Structures are given as structure tokens and as C-alpha cells.
Amino acid sequence: MTYSPNFPHKNRSILVVGRNAQASAVVDALARVPGVGTVRQIPGFDALTDAPKLMGVDTIVEMLGGVAPAFALAMAAMSNGIAFITANPMLMMVHGRVLRNAAQGQQAYLGFQAAGFGVPVAELMGSARPERIVVSFASAASTALNRMVFRGETLAHVSAHLRMQNADLSDWGGKQTLARALALRSLVFDTEIDTTALQRASVEQVESADVKRLRAFGLVPVFGAEIAENEIYAGPMAVAQDSALLQADGADVMVAETTYGDVTLRADSDEVRRVVAGVVADVRTLMRSPKPALPLERQIPLTKPQPLGQLEMAYVRIPFAERDKVLAMKPEILQDVMEGDGLWQAVIAVPRVRDIQIGAVGGVVYPLATAWAPQAAAEVSRGLRLVG
């Protein structure tokens, strides 16, 4: 059995699958989009019994959550040439490659802007061709670091407070941040990424004293992701004190480094509004485009060649006895300090931050996510990934 493909692009019949508040908000928003025909909502989907519900549907918006049911719905949609839009970052992280291949093979539209940043970034980033993206998403982990920075609270106190509020702590170890970062990367870069190039770290590696120590270097800890074409890091990072990523209000913030300069985008941290904005952006893109969304068409070359010898910066904090392991990489030491407790702290430049191996207890590495200059004086703090 086959159903109508994704043409024509106007007067589309859209089926929203899900029963939560986000699904209802998406239905209301899509009903007001010019060019959209009928919008229906069903609470769930069973691939064995609900196939007839897809009759006459042009576009499916997945709002189920979870991975297995969302994947079953995606494959049922695209196997019949139906456009599929999702706001589920975990679905894209686990099955993104399969879904992209299915979309290309079936000439079906696959949209997931709501799973990445929410605001429509696919077309903007597709033309700007960023070399690197650093992003801070609103999550329990980023809230924890914000409270440690702006209120001086300990991580244990923040954790207890968030649990009392029944906050979603699923991102405490960076899993959700990594999933959203991977979805965002797929909107920007055409190439696949090896799973060994995905790194994530927990907010629990940040100690209260780290805030003071990092400030001595002119740095502040944030929780977010650093995205390049060939690798992604999600977890604690360090940024300059005037960085756009350092937001006390907990908004989603993205800084894309492009050939034309840095592009900074802010998105509402309200999850419902973020999801609605992303889904509407995908529907509008679908109605304008005569072709499937993937693979993305590129009008300018891929990332410009990087100069030989370009280095990445990081903040390291390790026992002095383990210092030789870092020095063996022949790093450029931009600033360092020794504490009385035997900890060596430094901002260093190396070819690849991820190659720094620190196995000692008490040792951490934070990538540098923003531009940074050595401080006049350093009473240094413990380490975070420096994003720069």
C-alpha cells in the first residue's frame, strides 16, 4: 500500500501524533500557518493497527517522545513517502543515520529543526557554513552551573533544590545536550560523524572552588556543547566573562563561527515555544521546497581549509605529579599556576583537546569555547573545557 508523496506542497494534510501539551500547541500553531490544509491529532500510533490513519496524510509531526515508538512512526511515514518532522533529539541521536538514509531513498522530507535549536537555523547555517558552533541549552545542568556562578551555591545544594522542584535531571551527564548538539550538527554539516568522535561529561565534575579558580583566569564555567564537523563535545566548558554563552536567564544561546564573523542566536528557553517554532519552521521549509530536505543542497564550498598548526585551547587541572603527561604533548602553556595543595592549573594550546588523557583523581579538562587572553595575575581555579 502506498500513500500520496510530498507533492504538492500547499494545502497539506498534517497529522500530529502525541498527547502532551507540546502536541496541542503544535496543532494550534500549524492551523494558523498559511498554506496548511487540515491538521489532525491522534494520541499514539501502533504500526500494526494504525496504518489506515495515514491515508491521505502528507506530513506527520512526531510528538510521542521516547525512541522506539518514534522510530516506528518515522519508518511507517517515510516508507510511504510521507514527510516526517520530529522534535525528538534522542530519536535523531540513536537513529539519525537510518532516518536520513530512508528519507533520501524514499524522496521524503525529514525535518528536525525543533530537535536542534528550535528557531529556524537550517537555511541560515547552510549558507553561512560555520566552522564551529558552541551552544548552551537551557537544562538542569546549565541551571546548576548558572546558580553556582551567579549565586555562589554548591552543586549539592543546587541538585537538592532541583529535585525538590521535580526538575528533569536527564541532562545531568550531558546526554540530552549531546543529542540536541548532534541534531544541530546534522542541520549544518552533510557528512556523517563517527560515534567515537562524540564526547560528553557530567556537571558533577565541576567543584564549587572551580568558579573562583576559573575567574582568576578570566573564565567562567558553563554547560553546553562544542560542535565541529568531525567531533562534538557536550559537558562543562569555560568561556570568557563577557561571553554571549554566559546567560543568567537560562536561554538557549548559540554562537556560530563563520567565514563572515560570529553569528549569535538566542532562543526562548520555554520548551513548548521552542518545539512549536522548530516544527513550524520545518513545515514552512517543506512548503517552499520542491525537493526533500536531505541531503541539504550547498551553494558554497564546505568549511574553508584550516591553517596548518592551528591549536585548540583548554583549561587543565591536575596533580603536579601528573603534569608530565600533559607536557609530553608539547603544549603551548599560555598561563599556569601551582596551588598549595599540589594542583597544577593551566590554560594550554594543543592540536586537539580530546587527545589530552588525564586519568588521575582530581584531574579535569575543560575546552575553551571563546576568545581569551591571559590575565595579568592568576590565582587560578580548577578546570573546565575552554571554548574558544
Q: How confident is the model at residue 15 (pLDDT cuts 50, 70, 90)?
A: very high
For residue 26, give the amino acid letter: V
Peptide bond into 8 cis (omega under 30): yes
Strands 261-267, 232-240: pairing is unpaired
Burial class, 132, CB count within 10 angstroms (exposed 0-12 / middle 13-18 / buried 19+): middle
Domain 126-267: CATH superfamily is Dihydrodipicolinate Reductase; domain 2 (3.30.360.10)
Strands 83-86, 59-62: pairing is parallel
Task: Check pLDDT > 80 for residue 133.
Answer: yes
pLDDT, mean of residues 293-312: 43
pLDDT, mean of residues 143-150: 87
Q: Which of 54-58, 89-93, 374-378 is least confident? A: 374-378
**What is the C-alpha to C-alpha distance for residues 224 and 141, in angstroms, rounded to an integer?**
9
Q: How confident is the model at residue 382 (pLDDT cuts 50, 70, 90)?
A: very low
Task: Check pLDDT > 90 for residue 143.
Answer: no
* Maximum pairwise Cα distance, the chain: 73
**What is the C-alpha to C-alpha distance for residues 272 and 254, in angstroms, rounded to an integer?**
19
Identify whether the C-beta of residue 306 lies closer than 8 Å to the C-beta of residue 31.
no
**DSSP letter, residue 290:** S
Architecture of domain 12-111+274-288: 3-Layer(aba) Sandwich (3.40)
**What is the C-alpha to C-alpha distance for residues 237 and 218, in angstroms, rounded to an integer?**
13
**What is the C-alpha to C-alpha distance for residues 70 and 75, in angstroms, rounded to an integer?**
9
Q: How confident is the model at residue 99 (pLDDT cuts 50, 70, 90)?
A: confident
257-282 tens-digit pLDDT? 877 777 788 877 778 888 898 899 88
C-alpha angle 353-355-356 in degrees, rounded to nearest 5: 75
Q: What contacts 294, CB < 8 A, 6 or more positions away?
A: 100, 103, 104, 110
Q: What contacts 186, CB < 8 A, 6 or more positions away?
A: 92, 96, 100, 112, 116
99 φ/ψ sector (left φ>0, alpha ψ -120 to 50, else beta)? alpha
**DSSP letter, residue 370:** S
Q: What contacts 136, CB < 8 A, 6 or more positions away?
A: 142, 222, 223, 224, 225, 245, 247, 252, 253
Q: Kindly tell me the sign of the dihedral angle through the C-alpha atoms of 345, 348, 352, 357.
A: negative
Q: What is the pLDDT of residue 378?
A: 43
CB atoms within 10 A of CB 42: 13
Q: What is the pLDDT of residue 93?
A: 85
Mean residue pLDDT across the chain: 79
**What is the C-alpha to C-alpha distance for residues 177 and 171, in angstroms, rounded to an integer?**
7
Q: What is the pLDDT of residue 298?
A: 33
Q: What is the CATH number of domain 312-386?
A: 3.30.70
For residue 328, give the amino acid letter: A
What residue ranges do the domains of the chain occupy?
Answer: 12-111+274-288, 126-267, 312-386
Identify whether the C-beta of residue 202 lies closer than 8 Å to the C-beta of residue 159.
no
**What angle, 0 to 180 degrees and rounded to 10, lies between the N-to-C axes of helices 155-164 and 140-150?**
130
Task: Check pLDDT > 60 for residue 385.
Answer: no
Task: Check pLDDT > 60 for residue 107.
Answer: yes
Q: What is the pLDDT of residue 62?
A: 95
pLDDT, mean of residues 27-39: 91
**DSSP letter, residue 308:** T
Phi, psi of 37 (to 5 degrees): -85, -105
Residues paired with residue 316 on neighbouring β-strands, in sequence order = 346, 365
- First and final CA of the chain: distance in angstroms? 52
Total residue count of the chain as it appears in this document: 388
